[in-house]
Amino acid sequence: MRDLEAKIRVGERINFDEALSLYDWDLFTLGQLADAKRRERYGNKSFFNINRHINPTNVCKDVCKFCAYSASRKNPNPYTMSHEEILGIVDGIVDRGIKEVHIVSAHNPEAGLEWYLQVFAKIKAKYPSVHVKALTAAEVHFLAEQYAKSYDEILDLMIEYGVDSMPGGGAEIFDETVRDYICKGKVTSQQWLEIHRKWHERGRESNVTMLFGHVEKREHRIDHMMRVRDLQDQTGGFNAFIPLVYQSENNFLHVKEFITAHEILKTYAIARIVLDNVAHLKAYWVTSTVSLALVAQEFGADDLDGTIERESINSAAGAASAHGIDLAQFVGLIKNSGFTPVERDSLYNEIKIW
């Protein structure tokens, strides 16, 4: 343990077995190591942005067991927004000074490729300065299959029609055995990574998530992190790693023993230590709760996402995120936790220190 701790402190890269062994360490030693890594980069800063999530449709051809959002399973209320509805939301957020719109939804075979692309074009035509973060790799894969196009063709269309960066959703857990159980038929791990590789090769940036706390094991989380680290070595295109805590309500996984805060904080800390080449570690308050996200700032996390305003996917599974969080409250919570709130843009350029 002492040799590994010394290795971490001097910044040497650790391997799979060493990373897995960290789960057997006490939480506070891990926290100290991860916090040191965080503070080396950012000092006391905690980043957030003022953003709005829009989830345009919940009609989905896939049937992921962990999903409570899709209208094909537990959710009895299918919907698909019109472009007018979406643009009406964007009009409102621009009036309030919001600089990012985050557009992620289900895999709706009835909406059409043009429905997706035209909404991006309309937003950009009206508000060229608004950053459009849109389409997970799972959505890219769905559109490519549905319309007999290559990933390259879909990604080029995204850029042509105004998408600025890609979110990290759809990664779930990269282990294919687990993936076959929780989201069989969805984009595979290799396909997910290939889509992001191609996006990065176009000079664009993205995030990467990891859904944990369901049926996966610790070694699956470490494998996931290692694959992220490997691709980042090659492309450098990931802005942030985002561990997403599994939400337990209204789905078909039937997890009986839920993950503890202790295990969640260990996972954040280990991610900060393992992912030495990914700049930011996001404690996504939507899935971790605001309280635990604030604590995670001392376990390696330097980003808390943003105000969000409206969120439908995780809130359908029990997260307290349906109406986002008030900006003044968010800033106050970060300050009260002993950190300095720093408003950022979508690509982590600093806008304002609060």
- Give tens-digit pLDDT for 321-344: 344 688 888 899 999 999 999 999
Distance between CA 25 and CA 182 in Å, rounded?
29
Q: What pLDDT is attached to residue 192?
A: 98
Mean pLDDT of 50-60: 87
Q: What pLDDT is attached to residue 13?
A: 97
* Letter string b/e over residues 274-294, b meaning 16 or more CB atoms within 10 A of that residue's CB: bbeebbbbbbbbbbbbbebbb
Mean pLDDT of 192-200: 98
Mean pLDDT of 251-272: 89
Q: Which residue has the tokens 């899935």?
A: 287
Best mean pLDDT range from 119-128, 178-187, 281-290: 119-128
| Bridge partners, residue 245, by sequence | 212
Q: What pLDDT is attached to residue 299?
A: 98
Instruction: Choose the weakest-confidence range: 12-16, 78-82, 228-232.
Output: 78-82
Distance between CA 23 and CA 203 in Å, rounded?
36
Domains in the chain: ranges and CATH: 2-8+30-353 (3.20.20.70)
Distance between CA 247 and CA 66 in Å, rounded?
8
Dihedral angle computed from the Cα positions of residues 133, 298, 316 and 248, in that order, rounded to the nearest 10 degrees: 130
**In which band, very low, low, confident or very high, does the pLDDT at 319 lie, cut at 50, 70 and 90?**
very low
Q: Mean pLDDT over all residues of the chain?
A: 90
Q: What pLDDT is attached to residue 322?
A: 45
Distance between CA 167 and CA 163 in Å, rounded?
11
Distance between CA 140 and CA 137 in Å, rounded?
5
Bigger pLDDT: 73 vs 108: 108
Q: What pLDDT is attached to residue 315?
A: 39
* Percentage with pLDDT > 90 across the chain: 73
Q: Is the pLDDT of residue 75 over 70?
A: no
Instruction: Give the predicted TM-score (pTM) of the model.
Output: 0.91
3-state percent breakdown (helix, strand, coil) of the chain, nearest 5: 45, 15, 40
Q: Is the pLDDT of residue 133 over 60?
A: yes
Distance between CA 253 and CA 291 in Å, rounded?
26
Mean pLDDT of 276-304: 94
Give every CB contact of residue 202 below 8 A, 6+ residues apart in sequence: 155, 156, 159
